[in-house]
Amino acid sequence: MNYNDIFLIILIVFSWIIIIIPLAPAINKSKHFATMGPALMIRSTKNGGVLDAVAKHLPAKSLGKISTVLVVFGGLLAFGMLLYEAVLLTIIHIPTSAAPPLQDYLALPLINPFIPLGYGTASLVFAVVIHEMFHGIVARKHGIKVNSVGALFFIIPIGAFVEPDEKEIMAADPVVRRRIIAAGPGINLIIAAICIVLLVFVMMPASTPIHSGVYVDNSTTLYSGHAIPKGMEITSYGNLSGKQLNNLETTSMITPGLANITLFNGKTETNGSVPTGVAIVDLISGCPAAAANVSTDSIIYNISDAGHSHIIYNINTLGDVLDNITPGTTINMTVLTFHTGKTVPAYTTYTMKTVSTYHYYAKNDPTANKAAYKDESFIGVQIDYSGIGYESIDSLHSLVFGGQLVGPNFYETLGLPLLGLSPIPASLSHMFSTPFNSYIFFGITNTLYWFFWIDFLLGIMNALPLSILDGGQFFRDTLTIASRRDRLKFLRDENNVKKIYYAMGIFVFLLLMYIIIAPRII
């Protein structure tokens, strides 16, 4: 999105606000219109029949019961995720410069840069509308009057609302009221589950990788004309191909220098040559390599000590060599540097005295230090392999279709938008064969993912025990219902219920504030 687009969006939003606010008193006198801040509410009192008709043909009471279980699960999951993130922030120091921008915490199109306008808006509107509708449907199934339903606009439709009769719903049995409240986040979680099942069991098997290489998601130019373009698939590298490329940086035995490579752009394969080996991308200040003025954007060819020369084939080789050199040893390190227009690299040898890995961690990260590091050498180079970052195409195939949601990659699946993998880039989607038109197929795939993403987050966040969310009243009614057990009869005292309810709400609120504020001040 360019600056002109941003300026136009700001202009439209500002114009809407300055028109709505002065007109708010007149709008609020209308029977069918009202304002909620800068948003416009369009009410209808004649749509109750629609809710009745839907409620009549749906097992809404059973849905309310199922939703109660889902909200408990969703609330615990959301609470656990918040705790986990708070603990991580406490253990792992994040520089204030790396703190996420505040807009990243809001799952709203136009505001959050990771949420696409089209998929994001459609998914959000659907999720909010279905959420509110099911509050009303379950309320009608239990005989609770719905005073009005309507749409919520802020330039575009951003959702819907249902207004059950407040007196009737507050007079209802807490068990019934809890089912009505749970129906909103419950249906969101059900839809999220349906979408992820369709992604994993229908869309993923219907597409297959054309090759089994590796997808380049990051690339550094080691010398002009020989960088591996981002968004390409490496199908062969030297004498390696297919799944052999999955651990290229740790198992390659290709001699450092130039290597033949085959790249696939989704349509055709091209052959070329690229610098290969352990690339030095940066130097750590105060360490031996920096003191020796080692050239960055170069490749380590070999390391020699006491007459023994070791060719550095991969990252593991470099680690093994340094681990077996006594700290304080003088070594020679030869690197390859590639210059524009040259096909033969320049060889440069640097002399330096190693320090211990223990010394480095003692100064920079004491909590990660180990006694064994005292016998391992350290030179202070930041490295990667051949200036590329890559992922197995088979692994990406599973990831972008939600196949890794269960297990250690749970956060990676949720974080696909942050990784730039949803909507799935055209450069990646072209790496797969599909049963029909690729654009339509991946359009459906992206839609299912964003329906899952928005509904899942809306469902679990609404399950949190905060007074402004459905989970607040749900938690309070749960305490009231629990008081019917003799062993929990202390909850029959409304003051005890209030104390627990407010304490939990404050704790969750403080967790949220800690997650937002901590990276900016610690």
Say how far apart CA 72 and CA 478 lie, in whole Å.
Answer: 10
The pLDDT of residue 18 is 82
Q: How many residues does the chain have?
A: 522
Contact call for residues 43 and 153 (beta carbons, < 8 A):
no
Query: Minimum mean pLDDT among 119-128, 171-180, 217-226, 425-434: which range?
Result: 217-226
On the question of a cis peptide bond just before residue 423, with omega within 30 degrees of 0, the verdict is yes
Pick the most confident of 49-63, 142-156, 418-432.
418-432
Q: Where are the alpha helices (DSSP H) in 158-279?
A: 166-171, 174-198, 204-206, 248-251
Say how far apart CA 277 and CA 254 lie, in whole Å.
Answer: 8
Query: Minimum mean pLDDT among 90-99, 127-136, 374-383: which range?
Result: 90-99
pLDDT per position as a tens digit, 190-233: 999 999 999 999 999 999 999 999 999 888 766 555 567 888 99
Taken in order of first residue, the domains within the chain and their CATH numbers are 31-202+448-521 (no CATH), 276-388 (2.30.42.10)
Q: Looking up tokens 């049963």, which residue turns up?
A: 435
Contact call for residues 364 and 248 (beta carbons, < 8 A):
no
The pLDDT of residue 35 is 73
Say how far apart CA 469 and CA 71 lie, in whole Å.
Answer: 12
The pLDDT of residue 37 is 66
Span between the terminal Cα atoms of the chain, in Å = 32
Contact call for residues 454 and 107 (beta carbons, < 8 A):
yes
Hey, CA dihedral for 346, 351, 352, 357, is it positive or negative? positive
Token readout for 34 is 């009202």
Token readout for 222 is 């080691």
pLDDT per position as a tens digit, 297-332: 899 999 998 778 999 999 999 999 999 999 999 999
Say how far apart CA 489 and CA 440 lie, in whole Å.
Answer: 58
pTM for the whole structure: 0.82
- Report how far apart, in Å, the C-alpha atoms of 236 and of each of 52, 154, 244, 434 are: 62, 52, 9, 23
The SS3 assignment for 32 reads: coil
Does 498 score more than 80 pLDDT? yes
Say how far apart CA 321 and CA 324 lie, in whole Å.
Answer: 5
Contact call for residues 52 and 140 (beta carbons, < 8 A):
yes
Say how far apart CA 466 and CA 479 lie, in whole Å.
Answer: 14
Query: Minimum mean pLDDT among 203-207, 413-417, 444-448: which range?
Result: 413-417
Say how far apart CA 439 and CA 429 lie, in whole Å.
Answer: 9
The pLDDT of residue 46 is 63
Q: Considering only residues 499 and 88, tell me which one the structure prediction assigns the higher pLDDT.
A: 499
Q: Within 10 Å of residue 179's Cβ, how many Cβ atoms?
A: 28
Does 8 score more than 70 pLDDT? no
Q: Mean pLDDT for the chain?
A: 87
Token readout for 126 is 């659907």
Say how far apart CA 83 and CA 85 lie, in whole Å.
Answer: 5
pLDDT per position as a tens digit, 125-161: 888 888 888 988 998 888 898 877 777 776 666 666 7
- Report how far apart, in Å, the C-alpha atoms of 64 and of each of 67, 233, 293, 455 are: 5, 48, 68, 17
DSSP-assigned letters across all residues of 233-255: EEEEETTEEGGGGGGHHHH--PP
- Burial tier of 293 (Cβ tally within 10 Å: 0-12, 13-18, 19+): exposed
The pLDDT of residue 217 is 86
